Amino acid sequence: MAYSDYLAERIRQRLTNRYPIEEKKMMGGLIFMVNGKMCLGIDRDKNTGNDRLMVRVGKAREEALRLKKGSREMDFTGKVMRGFLFIDPEGFDTDKDLDFWVEKALEFNLEH
């Protein structure tokens, strides 16, 4: 499996009671769509074997949020994808940290 069922369930719990979501298997992982738009995703980093979160935050917020614990540029194809971030486990292991990233993704999603 290319992603963690446990992490997927943690995200589902934060989204399903608030918004209608659609889940799509793509890019080797699982993407959570809100309002028909990509919001969050999960996969497993092929280099480290660790789970990682993919968060769509928008270009305007990306630079500031990249300074947060566990956050880095999303370079899925070898080229940086502007407006998206990868979050490594140390950035989402606690419920508080995961809540933060889910909220940032939802803020962007609901504004655009």
Q: Mapped to the 3 state alphabet, what secondary structure does the chain carry?
A: CCCCHHHHHHHHHHHCCCCCEEEEEECCEEEEEECCEEEEEEEECCCCCCEEEEEECCHHHHHHHCCCCCEEECCCCCCCCCCEEEECHHHCCCHHHHHHHHHHHHHHHHHC
Does residue 112 have a pLDDT over 90? Answer: no
Residue 59 confidence (pLDDT) above 80: yes
pLDDT value at 77 more than 90: no
> What is the C-alpha to C-alpha distance for residues 61 and 19, in angstroms, rounded to an integer?
22
pLDDT: which is higher, 79 or 39: 39
Say whether pLDDT at 38 is over 80. Answer: yes
> Is there a contact between 91 and 69 (Cβ–Cβ < 8 Å)?
yes
Domains of the chain: 7-93 (3.90.1150.30)
Say yes or no to pLDDT of 1 above 60.
no
